[in-house]
Each structure stands twice: as structure tokens, then as C-alpha cells.
């Protein structure tokens, strides 16, 4: 998903819809906030600062404040426009701020409700990928905003955010990245589980083994740490120590044999790792978990 969408908290100002006949055209105008327009059932053209923007059936357009623009229907049957005037984030209401000014009247530039810097400056316009969902969201937003109480208007803000995300998020790319990044840490952990079965002296290189998954070692380490909170090497060590704790608790094996079975070639190194992770030596741990007749 586009990262900037995570920062928006949109607030509706006016919500509505209108059927426009075949010969419909509006006067040249300037708005003071942003206007999202959804086009359905016919084709339109919106001219923004002398640039013609085709808006065929099933598209959307967000008009920014201060841009001189005019809309007209170009289909023989006309068409339907669904619109929302909104701010990208909450802004303090300004008494007396008009919704729009028709030219040649002079607009009040100091009243423009500009987008925050993180919103792209380019014209936001394109096809509606999921028309049924988008128009359902607009209907819910319209009813909540125009007919509801104060609580309903808070919910309407959530509907507007859903609507904008539905229109502006790159769902295909986001889903591919999400699935790939979700699966990779699990694949790394599976590979590390196999590695942990080797003796330390004979264990294949962690870096070489993980790079066989098709990603850089640094990227894999970063994803693994983000998911599990530790590095791959720390995970292998933690896994071995946990296995050692179970062996100490459930068997009468000497500690040197426990170390060997969980993959530590050196009992001294096993003791250091065990103390570092558990907070006490293997022998001290054994005295607390083994019955007296098993020491």
C-alpha cells in the first residue's frame, strides 16, 4: 500500500450525488477543500487549469483546492456523479469558509484548505477497481453524514478513509509484498530448525543456507528479526538451549551429554550460552528441576 495513506485521517464536509443530463455543464469554479468525484453511468470531462481530464464511466477524480475547473457530460445519456468534499486530515473549522466560488467572482485564497505535505501533489485520478464496494461505501458515507447524529458522523470519517484507501491503494503490489514477506520468516525458521539439529562443529553456514531461499542474508535477517524479535543465529542458540532444558528436566543424562545432543561440541561453550539465556548454569538449573534422587 502507498505509505502516505497510512497517515491520512480524512474528514468529510459535504457529501452528495447528482444525475447530470446529456447537455449538463457547470460554471467555472474554485473549491476550498478537496473534492472526490466518482463517475458512473456516463462519461464526463473535467477541465482543470486548461488541462482536459477524461472521466469515463467507472473512474474517480480528486480535485484540489484553488484549481480552476469546469465539468461537463459528454455521453448522450448523461451520467451520475457521486461526490465528497473533504480534508485529508482534521482541520479546525473556519467560520464563513465557503464551499466554492464561481468565477469571475474572486476566491479567498487565504481560506484554501491545503493537503498536508505527505499527500502527493500530482492529480489523483484513475479507474475504480471495485465499483460495487466503492459505491456502497459512498452510500453509507452519505447516509451517515447527512442523516446521522454526532456518533454517526464519526463513523462516516472511517467510511471515507475506507473509500480513499480502496481507490488509492496499490492492492496488487501490496498483496504480493505482504504475502512474500509473511511467508519468508516462516521459511527461514524452518531452515533454522533443521540447522539446529547439527553439531555446532559440523553445522553448515547459516548465511549460505538462508541465501538459498533466494533473498539476501541482510534482508532475511531483517524480516526474521521484525517477526520474531531476534536474529537467526540467536534463534538457533535459543532453540538449542530450550531443548537442553527439556533434556535436563526429563532425563538423567550428564550435562556434557545434554550439550552434545542439542548440538554443542564444547560443554564449556554450552555452559556460557545456557547461563547467558537462562541466567544460571546448567548444573544450577538441574538442581532446581530434577528430583533429588536423579542428581
Chain mean pLDDT for the chain: 89
Residue 70 clears pLDDT 90, i.e. is over it: yes
Per CATH, the homologous superfamily of domain 3-169 is Regulatory protein AraC (2.60.120.280)
Question: By the 8 A CB rule, do 82 and 17 touch?
Answer: yes
pLDDT score recorded for residue 181: 58
For residue 37, the model assigns a pLDDT of 98
Contact 46, 120 (CB under 8 A): no
Cell numbers 450525488 correspond to what residue? 17
Q: What is the pLDDT of residues 136-161, one digit of tens each?
A: 999 999 999 999 999 999 999 999 99
Instruction: Name the residue ranges covered by the structural domains of the chain.
Output: 3-169, 171-295
In the numeric block, the cell 470519517 is attached to 157
Q: Which CATH superfamily is domain 171-295 in?
A: Homeodomain-like (1.10.10.60)
Instruction: For residue 126, give the C-alpha cell.
Output: 484513475
pLDDT at 58: 96
Q: 1-40: b or e for each residue (b if 16 or more CB lie within 10 Å)?
A: eeeebeebebbbbebebeebeeebeeeebbbbbbbbbbbb
- Give me the pLDDT at residue 139, please: 97
Contact criterion met (CB below 8 Å) for 267 and 259: yes
pLDDT of residue 7: 94
Q: Give bridge partners of residue 70 from the DSSP assignment.
A: 47
What does the angle CA 260 – CA 265 – CA 269 come to, to the nearest 5 degrees?
105
pLDDT at res. 171: 60
Smallest Cα–Cα separation from 8: which of 185, 210, 166? 166
Q: What is the mean pLDDT of residues 237-244?
A: 90
Residues 51/33, Cβ–Cβ less than 8 Å: no
Which of 43-47, 107-111, 212-216 has the lowest average pLDDT?
A: 212-216
- 83 by DSSP, 3-state: which? strand
Looking at residue 174, its pLDDT comes to 45
Tens of pLDDT along 160-218?
A: 999 999 999 876 544 444 555 568 888 899 989 888 776 656 667 888 889 888 888 99
Domains 3-169 and 171-295 belong to one CATH topology: no
CA distance 115 to 50: 22
Q: Which three cell numbers stand for residue 125?
A: 485520478
Check residue 172 and give its pLDDT. Answer: 55
Residue 294 to residues 37, 75, 249, 254, 255, Cα–Cα distance (Å) = 77, 90, 10, 11, 13
C-beta separation of 282 from 270 below 8 A: yes
pLDDT in tens, 260-295: 888 887 899 999 999 999 999 999 999 888 765 444
Structure confidence at residue 97 (pLDDT): 81
pLDDT at 133 over 50: yes
Amino acid at each position: 500500500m502507498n505509505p502516505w495513506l497510512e497517515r491520512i485521517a480524512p474528514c468529510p464536509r459535504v457529501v452528495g450525488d447528482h444525475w447530470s443530463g446529456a447537455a449538463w455543464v457547470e460554471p467555472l469554479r474554485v473549491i476550498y477543500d478537496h473534492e472526490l468525484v466518482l463517475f458512473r453511468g456516463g462519461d464526463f470531462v473535467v477541465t482543470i487549469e486548461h488541462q482536459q481530464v477524461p472521466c469515463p464511466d467507472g473512474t474517480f477524480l480528486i480535485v484540489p483546492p484553488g484549481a480552476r475547473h469546469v465539468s461537463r457530460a459528454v455521453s448522450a445519456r448523461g451520467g451520475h456523479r457521486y461526490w465528497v468534499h473533504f480534508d485529508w486530515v482534521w482541520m479546525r473549522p473556519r467560520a464563513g469558509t465557503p464551499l466554492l466560488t464561481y468565477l469571475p467572482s474572486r476566491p479567498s485564497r487565504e481560506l484554501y484548505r491545503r493537503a498536508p505535505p505527505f499527500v502527493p501533489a500530482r492529480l489523483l485520478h484513475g479507474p475504480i477497481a471495485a465499483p460495487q464496494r466503492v459505491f456502497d461505501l459512498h452510500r453509507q458515507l452519505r447516509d451517515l453524514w447527512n442523516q446521522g447524529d454526532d456518533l454517526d458522523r464519526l463513523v462516516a470519517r472511517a467510511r471515507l478513509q475506507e473509500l480513499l484507501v480502496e481507490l488509492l491503494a496499490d492492492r496488487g503490489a501490496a498483496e504480493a509484498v505482504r504475502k512474500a514477506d509473511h511467508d519468508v520468516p516462516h521459511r527461514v525458521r524452518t531452515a533454522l530448525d533443521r540447522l539446529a539439529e547439527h553439531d555446532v562443529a559440523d553445522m553448515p553456514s547459516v548465511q549460505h543456507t538462508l541465501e538459498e531461499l533466494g533473498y539476501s542474508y541482510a534482508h532475511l535477517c531483517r524480516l526474521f528479526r521484525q517477526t520474531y524479535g531476534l536474529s537467526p543465529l540467536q534463534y538457533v542458540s535459543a532453540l538449542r538451549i530450550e531443548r537442553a532444558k527439556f533434556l535436563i528436566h526429563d532425563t538423567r543424562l550428564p550435562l556434557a551429554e545434554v550439550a552434545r545432543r542439542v548440538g554443542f561440541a564444547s560443554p564449556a561453550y554450552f555452559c556460557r550460552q545456557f547461563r547467558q539465556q537462562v541466567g544460571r548454569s546448567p548444573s544450577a538449573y538441574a538442581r532446581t528441576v530434577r528430583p533429588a534422587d536423579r542428581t
